[in-house]
Chain A
Amino acid sequence: MNASMSGEETRSGLIGSRLEGLRAQLLGCGDVLSNLVEPAERPLVTDALRKLKQLTCRVAIVGQIKSGKSSFINAFVQDPGFLPTSVTPWTTAVTNLHFRQTPPGAHAAIFTFLQQNEWSSLAESGGRVRELTERLVPGFEPQLLQRQADQLRERAQQRLGVEFELLLGQAHAFESFDASILLQYLCSGDFAGHAGAAAIGKYSDLTKSADLYCDHGPFAFPVTVIDTPGTNDPFLIRDEITRRSLGSADVHLVVLTARQPLSDTDVSLLRIMRGLNNDRIVVLINRIDDLADVETELPKVIAYVRQRLDAEFPGTGIPVVHGSAWWGNQAIAFEAEAVARILARRSASHLLRAGLLHPSELTPAALSNSDCRERIRHSLWAMSGLPSVYKAIDMAMGAARPAFALRQITHAFAEMARVCEGSARSELEALSDAAKRSSDLPQDAEERFARISAESEQLARVTANIDASATGIETQLARIIHEEREALRRHLMATIDLHAARERDVLIDTLSRGRAPQVWTHEGVELRRALAGAFHEGFRNAAERLTSFHARVAPELHKLTASLMPDSALSDPHGPTLSIAEPTIAPLSRLVALDLDTSRWRLFWSRQPSPEASGARIEALIRAEFSPVADELVQLAENAFHEFSATTITWSFGACRNIQHALRRRLEFLRAEYEETRRAAVSPESAQRATETAERLRAQDQRVKDNQTLTRHLEHLIQYMDKVLHEEAPRP
């Protein structure tokens, strides 16, 4: 990053600093914990620590072509000129900017090319739209797509030679990179294909994604900022690349342009987003500097956007921020010519709002005064909207997946810490008992041995019991997951069938009244909404069943364990440990044949012999198109269930096992001690043994204290998270 904005907001905290604070503390706690748990349970902690270290937050920047996404990212990461920008559609590949992350190997930039099959699907058969068209109107040759596919192939050949296909499935990696490299891989290049611009976009048609490793940027937490090709590009192939990448982010920033804010296309994009991550969307109205009279026009634009958002997504309270990426970039780069141009626009008067400038200073002449320059710079930054974007993204991160993961790990650690503490305590007791008993008579020792043996037997019994029920629980869990998955599938299919049948009836009715559906296109939104609802409901039911199963099983485990160790400190599951994060519903955003535009539908109609035939085809089509979507959704849900069982339930078992292992160790210690006593009766070295015991006692006492501190610390963290992170998540 070549310059940094020392604005108040950036100084007051980097993005994700709270999450990073939590993560750092948890890493510390985990280190302590891994020394406290029984060796057998250590891998569980180590695994959690590994997850913690890999935790990143993925922030995707999406929006229509030319809304200023790449420019915005440059301002956002405070490196103007980092990503290439242009006035024509430009970004061609999904670009991952990794901050605070270690690259694999020594590579700072990795460009991944399309796979052979992906390329053929795009360049030979014209991509998904083409495939769908074929399904809708077989044999219909959409010239546009064919032309685009041809163009793609020809250009690749022209830019890379006939052997270009050898690159497919490969990747190019660089130890360092600069703008000229990015231009080769990420930009569409000159439209007219001028010879001079040959290097630009050389590999772009083949590049699927890029991974760029940057240093810290304005981030405290490891963040991946994702630039995407603009949507609504008539070069449909690009739209497809973006659509495919949408599911994977934790936070989405939707960039609008102040001039045509929240068009229908934006709304449909938001619909997809909202399906993906309910609360984790931020809307940015960019390019406010394009408005002439910002003071009067901006409030109108904001009101319009809010009003439309409220109408489309009632009760979601999607945060809306506004600004200008141009201003943000120039606050950092401060190129005299560009700043002069900014000041010359009427929108510059909005900069006065920062309260740092006098109206008379809004002239290019003011640039010759260094004090004035500084104030202009700060005004630009303040009014660029970036400070509010930082805040909004930071908040959204607090409600996103990484925060959820942090919370789960904290809860798991806390329980384990409590359990360890209990074990450590009873071990301490055993030790001090032993110390007191150092003068035991042999017959007392015999009596004790008998008790130890009895306890060992009980332990073995309980352990066997727990193991048996563990197997039982696993089978039951698998059954529940299976049943719930099927229930969810049925629910989704029923929704599709119902919709398809209704659509068929409406259509037959319309057609038999002699009204041709001139501009009829299937309203995919309604079915998608219904499916999202059905999924949400089905998932919630399943999650409830799973968590209540867990809530039922855990106390039983605890009871069993309690028979071994009465004050085991196992707490029955409650609160956030009992929730399963709902997966994204990205599959709903998949393009289906029913989404194709009017011209194709017109052909479709012209080919149906009768209203009934039309109706039947539509019904079949809706079902055929949406059942794979339902399948994908079901798969995602199932993954989430397995994930739950693999984390929460595994940790519950882990805690119990930890107790068993601790107990076994203690019994072994006692047995050893018994042997020792018997030997000691033969060779009296009691003085040395007494010192040893005292030493052990002190160590164990310290262990208990450490453990106590850890438990308390983790409990504090839980409270903090519940309070700070939870409250900030935007609520309806």
Chain B
Amino acid sequence: MSRASEQFLAEIRDARERLIETRLTDTALTYCIAGLSRIEEALRRPVRVVILGEYNSGKTSVADLLIGAGLLPTSVVANTQVPVLMTYAETASMFGVTEAGTRIRVDGDENDPLTDIAFRAIQVALPLEHLRRLQILDTPSAASPAAFIEDADIVIWCTVATRAWTESERALWASLPPRCCRNALLVATHKDSLHLAEEVTSVTERLRAMTTGLFRDIVLVAAEGGRDDGAAGHAGATDTGAATLRNAVASLAGEIADRRTHKAEKIVRRLGRLTFHHLSSARLRPEIATLLTDWESRSGLIVEQLTAGTRTVPSAIEELLQAYAGFAELLSPGVILGDSIPVTTARALTAPLHWPANGAAAQRLVKTLVSDLTALLRMLAARSTAASPRHGDYQTARGILLALADLDGSFAALERMLGSSTPDAPA
């Protein structure tokens, strides 16, 4: 996980804890806290590596290489029967998942009568540091590997270097949904069978040429390097490729963490904004609350007309801005007239865009506009309440939420458009 991701995680954890400390009883806040902790959890979820390949291609050996412990049984004949998921736990344990979905603990001892049950999958939890960040799913070779990639973050396709990338492999890979290729690695095992450096080069070159666009990277490994005692002298002896593989996986995992963080940031912003509004609206003076309800029904009507086709996009926008100006003026007298906001706002909103013709896209656009304007109005309304704080905790919560919401640059821009900043937002 990159530093930026970790920092973000720390930020939201901190925000959540501080929100809890406010001891406010507010449903919106409760949801927000729960949401934040779910996001934290999602961010902390280890990246799942799914290992696919034809039978005896070295899938289990590669899984072992990634965990870094000679734990899993491998064999010269078709061996792995069910998918095995390896995860982290403080103490080692093993579960079998039955056809019905029940998890049964097994101890892996051959005499354990439970080992005879036909499990659908096996889960192994191990106290290994690697597994804190990477979860590994070893799979049996199957005619339709698509079944295993549901929660996959990284997909590894194993092939044997001495016969790498055959038509049957290509066809299997092509049968997977295209999104698999985004974070996929092609791993050629049995690098130790290639004796000369030229051989490694020509195998790698062929793989590159044959799989253009299908994998992020190609790695050759001697997944069982230690096994063949006399391995000295083969091209794989100089470099088993294990480190290269781990680095490749780590770098993909890093990218994935960054992407996840990016996504989480967006969610947190929305969550912050929403909670802020709810929290504020619960404390609105009744007449202001009525104003907001009026705005909502008014803008709703405009959207409806647009949807029904009785109104064009430009006229809908025009109308919305008009209405907005009116409500904003009521909420915070002078804010519109004084700053001639409608003009700027209108320009800001219309200038760079070609309005799409009436249609789904146009409707979506107008709806976004409505929700942004609503947010602005709520902001104004909330500010007007803030003038008479009733509660220190409330102030704190508002501050935290605003900070979360503030992470959204566009939200800040909207605020700036209002020509003032929230007095109690942290710097």
Contact = CB atoms under 8 A, between A and B. Distances in A.
Given A234-B167, A234-B210, A301-B76, A346 B203 contact: no
B76 A300 contact: yes
Contacts of A235: 210
A87 B54 CA distance: 19
Contact of B199 (A87, A263, A301): A87
Interface residues of A, number: 44
Nearest to A261: B77
A16 B190 CA distance: 39
B144 interface: yes
A257 interface: yes
A265 B166 contact: yes
A610 interface: no
Contacts of B78: 304
Contacts of B168: 232, 263-265
B56 A259 contact: yes
B233 A341 contact: yes
B209 A191 contact: yes
Interface string B72-101: 000111100000000000000000000000
Interface residues of B, number: 44
A597 interface: yes
B174 A234 contact: no
Contact of A304 (B77, B144, B163, B199): B77
Interface of B: 54-57, 75-78, 143-144, 146, 160-163, 165-171, 174-175, 190, 193-195, 199, 202-203, 205-206, 209-210, 224, 227-234
Contacts of B160: 259-260
A341 B195 CA distance: 9
A598 interface: yes
B142 to A, nearest CB: 11
B228 A191 contact: no
A661 interface: no
Contacts of A301: 76-77
A234 B143 CA distance: 18
Interface of A: 64-67, 86-89, 144, 190-192, 232-236, 239, 257-261, 263-265, 290-292, 297, 300-301, 304, 340-341, 343-346, 348, 519, 597-599
Contact of B57 (A190, A234, A260): A260
A236 B175 CA distance: 17
A88 B207 CA distance: 9
Contacts of B228: 292, 345-346
A598 B54 CA distance: 17
Q: In this complex, which of A64, A86, A345 has the most chain B Cβ atoms within 10 angstroms of its Cβ?
A: A345
Contacts of B195: 341
Given A66-B163, A234-B170, A344 B76 contact: no
A239 B78 CA distance: 26
B205 A598 contact: no
Contacts of A344: 230-233
Q: In this complex, which of B161, B163, B193, B224 has the most chain A Cβ atoms within 10 angstroms of its Cβ?
A: B163
Contacts of A239: 167
Nearest to A338: B195
B157 to A, nearest CB: 13
Contacts of A64: 163, 166
Contacts of A341: 195, 233-234
A346 B209 contact: no
B167 A233 contact: yes
A87 B203 contact: yes
30 contacts: A86-B202, A87-B203, A88-B203, A89-B206, A190-B202, A190-B205, A191-B206, A192-B209, A233-B166, A234-B169, A234-B210, A236-B167, A239-B167, A258-B76, A259-B160, A260-B55, A260-B160, A290-B162, A292-B224, A297-B76, A300-B77, A341-B195, A343-B230, A344-B230, A345-B230, A346-B227, A597-B174, A598-B174, A598-B175, A599-B171
A260 B56 contact: yes
A439 B231 CA distance: 100
Nearest to A363: B230
A439 B234 CA distance: 99
Nearest to B205: A192
B209 A519 contact: no
Contacts of B203: 87-88
A452 B263 CA distance: 115
A232 B175 contact: no
Contacts of A144: 170
Contacts of B229: 346
Contacts of A89: 206
A67 B163 contact: yes
Given A87-B194, A260-B57, A291 B76 contact: yes
Nearest to B163: A66
B230 A263 contact: no
B199 to A, nearest CB: 5
B202 A260 contact: no
Given A259-B190, A346-B228, A597 B163 contact: no
Please provide the 3 A-B residue pairs with the shortest distance between their CB atoms, ordered closest to farther.
Answer: A344-B230, A66-B163, A597-B171
A292 B227 contact: yes
Contacts of B230: 343-346, 348
A66 B167 contact: no
A89 B166 CA distance: 10
Contact of A290 (B144, B193, B209): B193
A88 B175 contact: no
Nearest to A342: B230
A170 to B, nearest CB: 29
Contacts of A599: 171, 174-175
Contacts of A190: 202, 205
A65 B163 contact: yes
Contacts of A264: 168
A168 B241 CA distance: 45
A343 B229 CA distance: 11
B76 A234 contact: no
Contacts of B234: 341
Nearest to B198: A87
Given A87-B194, A191-B206, A260 B227 contact: no
A290 B195 CA distance: 12
B177 to A, nearest CB: 11
A265 B141 CA distance: 14
Nearest to A289: B193
Given A87-B194, A234-B210, A260 B205 contact: no
A232 B168 CA distance: 6
B175 to A, nearest CB: 4
A65 B174 contact: no
Contacts of B194: 87
A259 B75 CA distance: 10
Contacts of B175: 519, 597-599
A457 to B, nearest CB: 74
B16 to A, nearest CB: 42
Nearest to A294: B76
B426 to A, nearest CB: 53
Contacts of A192: 202, 205, 209
A232 B162 contact: no
B202 A87 contact: yes
A260 B210 CA distance: 21
Nearest to B229: A346
Contacts of B210: 234-235
